[in-house]
Structure 1
Amino acid sequence: MKQSDIFRDNAENCLQLAERSDGQPAYKRFSRMADAWTALAQEQDWLDGEVPPVRVSVVQNPSA
């Protein structure tokens, strides 16, 4: 199993915990944890060369 898949599994577990949580603070905490695990999975995919880097276009300032 790829490292990014493990991260995605962790994110899914956090979402399940959020759904079963008692109260808004716990729900938000588990949701933020799920977002963080998802971001780690996406970064790991990039590090593994599975997704290309994001292209950023530079806009020239015409008045400069």
Structure 2
Amino acid sequence: MKQSDIYRDNADNCLQLAERAEGQPAHKRYSRMADAWTALANEQDWLDGEVPPVAVRAPPKRKA
């Protein structure tokens, strides 16, 4: 199993905990944790070369 898959499993677990959470603070906390695990999974995919880097466009130059 790839490391990014493990991270996505962790994100799924956090989402399940968020659904069962009692109270808004706990729900928000688990949702933020799920977002963080998903970001880590995407980053790991990039590090493993499975996702190409995103080209960043420079803003157009202004004429003086």
TM-score interval (norm. to shorter): over 0.9
Establish whether residue 2 from structure 1 lines up as the match of residue 19 from structure 2.
no
Match of 1:61 in 2: 61
Computed over aligned residues only, the root mean square deviation of the Cα atoms, in angstroms, reads: 0.9
Q: CA deviation at 1:58?
A: 1.1
Give distance in 2, aligned partners of 1:23 and 1:56: 40
Match of 2:49 in 1: 49
Q: CA deviation at 1:26?
A: 0.1
- AA at the equivalent of 1:23: G
Q: Provide structure 2 residue ranges, at least 5 long, that are not aligned to the other structure.
A: none
Identity %: 77
Alignment TM-score, normalising by the size of structure 1: 0.95
Match of 1:21 in 2: 21
SS in structure 2 at match of 1:60: coil
Count the aligned residue pairs.
Answer: 64
Q: CA deviation at 1:59?
A: 2.4
Match of 1:33 in 2: 33
Q: Provide structure 1 residue ranges, at least 5 long, that are not aligned to the other structure.
A: none
Give distance in 1, aligned partners of 2:44 and 2:14: 19
